[in-house]
Amino acid sequence: MGKEKLEQTLQATLDKGDKLFVPYIMAGDGGLDVLTDRIAFLEEAGASAIELGIPFSDPVADGPTIQAAGLRALEHKVSLKDVLDLLKTTRNTREIPIILMTYVNPIINFGTEAFAEACEESGVDGLIIPDLPMEEEDHIFPHVKEKGIALIRLAALTSPDDRLKQIGDRTEGFLYAVTVKGTTGAQATFGEEVGPYIEKLKTFTSKPVLAGFGVTTPDHVRDLSQYGDGVVVGSKIVSDFHDGVTDTIRELIQASKG
């Protein structure tokens, strides 16, 4: 389980000749009642893993769409504990790897040791923590590492090469290549530097490199996947679920196949 399951699952997809597609959804958007069905839909539609956002009142990496989803979830009183409890009771209903995306404060509030244990019991395979610098990882999260849960690092366009090499060397599961200089959200196009940047990251890590932030169309999925190993898609998935539209989600996932 954990890191091994995530990495083996991703590699099996790449070995088939497909690219990786990791959708992001906000846990509790629309209420916790819909979360299990949304996970099942994404698994059936062919997602590689699911990034599950935890609602938080100060989401520094999130753009307007995901911020709004987080506020809707908070209106439903959804907490980190609620999400982990649900994942625990439903863990036998899914095979797809689950990655939690959360911030440092909710984890500290939960208690790092208790959080790591709850993640293990809930079948969480990886973590993305945007406001956790590398220098603080070992100090704050030894318990997470002991449980074998992958710590997925984010690489920024603005980081110097020596920093990117460190991040690439330490990432687990995959390397998350941030493709914009800002927060999440829809993009019409990407800068000319994005392709070479993803290709450069491929030389800095043995793990798959997935591009994220601003990926909203099947063409984005295909174009960015040419340079790396696939994509992470958030705002578009969140808005489509909120609007009750699922055909477009299937189209996005299918764009990563073959």
CATH at residue 117: 3.20.20.70
Question: Contact, 239 vs 246, CB < 8 A?
Answer: no
- pLDDT tier, 64 (very low <50, low <70, confident <90, very high otherwise): confident
Using CB atoms within 10 Å of the CB of residue 45, give its burial: 0 to 12 exposed, 13 to 18 middle, 19+ buried.
Answer: middle
144 domain residue, yes or no: yes
Which among 54-68, 130-144, 204-218 has the top mean pLDDT? 204-218
- What residue numbers bound the domain in which 77 lies? 3-153+216-254
In-domain check, residue 244 = yes
Residue 171 lies in a domain: no
Partners of 50 in the beta sheet? 98
pLDDT at 133 over 80: yes
| Residue 167 forms part of a structural domain | no
The domain tally of the chain equals 1
Residue 43 to residues 46, 49, 74, Cα–Cα distance (Å): 5, 8, 25
Q: Is 239 exposed, middle or buried (0-12, 13-18, 19+ CB in 10 A)?
A: middle
158 located within any domain? no
Q: For the chain, what is the largest distance between any 2 Cα atoms, rounded to a whole number of angstroms? A: 45
Give tens-digit pLDDT for 148-167: 999 999 999 999 999 999 99
Report percent pLDDT > 90 for the chain: 81
For the annotated catalytic residues, the residue numbers are 51, 62
Please report whether residue 209 resides in a domain: no
In the predicted model, what is the mean pLDDT of the chain? 92
pLDDT at 104 over 80: yes
Which two tokens mark 98?
Answer: 């689950």
**Is the residue at 188 inside a domain?**
no
Full-model pTM: 0.94
Q: Please give the average per-residue pLDDT across 229-248, as a whole number.
A: 96
pLDDT in tens, 169-202: 999 999 999 987 654 544 545 677 899 999 999 9
Q: What percent of the chain has pLDDT over 70?
A: 94
Domain presence at residue 111: yes
Judge contact between 62 and 212, C-beta under 8 A. Answer: no
Listed residue (149, 172, 163) closest to 200, CA to CA: 163
